[in-house]
Amino acid sequence: MKLVFASNNQNKIKEIQLLVPPSIEIVSLEAIGCFEDIPETADTIEGNAILKANYVTSKYGLNCFADDSGLEVDALNGEPGVFSARYAGEPKNDENNTAKLLLNLKDKNNKKANFKTVICLNFNGEQHLFTGIINGYITDDKKGSNGFGYDPVFIADGYSKTFAELTLEEKSIISHRGKAVKQLVEFLK
């Protein structure tokens, strides 16, 4: 089965391809000739996932899934949340976003946070949502060189390493995206 993933983020594509069985081939937006930046104008993570999936389905007529993810920090009232990718403004920049997060948490004692992913699947005329959440906390300093986004400052509950210190395989098993993709795969089976 070929399934379009509404993303051109090579890190996400690699991560998801690792999580699905070999019988499911993940196809990028580039592979279907979609090079435009799909608007993410919703005010929720769920809403952005739905917007992206609906865009591909309506424009290309293909079964597809899209995800949106965000880091939700307790002490910042859920920020950066839906604005995680552009927390420090345009253009999106992981270094700037992480620096702004650490600055905003500098005087806070509560560093609890969670990563949340919502996947929207448009499949044979029906829409399905899958949600994955991993709880943890934000570190004071960046550690590790793997991963992307806020991975260097997030440690999952029960672990001692940041997501950026874990291998892609280790992270994929426990991550928010991994949990949501697992639900997607179970549904497709």
Give me the active site residues, please.
Answer: 68
Which residues have a Cβ under 8 Å from the Cβ of 28 and sit 6 or more positions away?
4, 5, 7, 8, 13
Task: Specify the 3-state DSSP secondary structure of 23.
Answer: coil
80, β-bridge pairs: 72
Q: Which residue has the tokens 């390493």?
A: 161
How far apart, in whole angstroms, are the C-alpha atoms of residue 84 and residue 107? 20
- With residues binned 3-state (H G I as helix, E B as strand, rest as coil), the percentages for the chain, rounded to 5, are 40, 25, 35
Q: What tokens were used for 168? A: 């892609």
How far apart, in whole angstroms, are the C-alpha atoms of residue 137 and residue 134? 10
Which residues have a Cβ under 8 Å from the Cβ of 95 and sit 6 or more positions away?
none
Which residues have a Cβ under 8 Å from the Cβ of 111 and sit 6 or more positions away?
73, 75, 105, 137, 138, 139
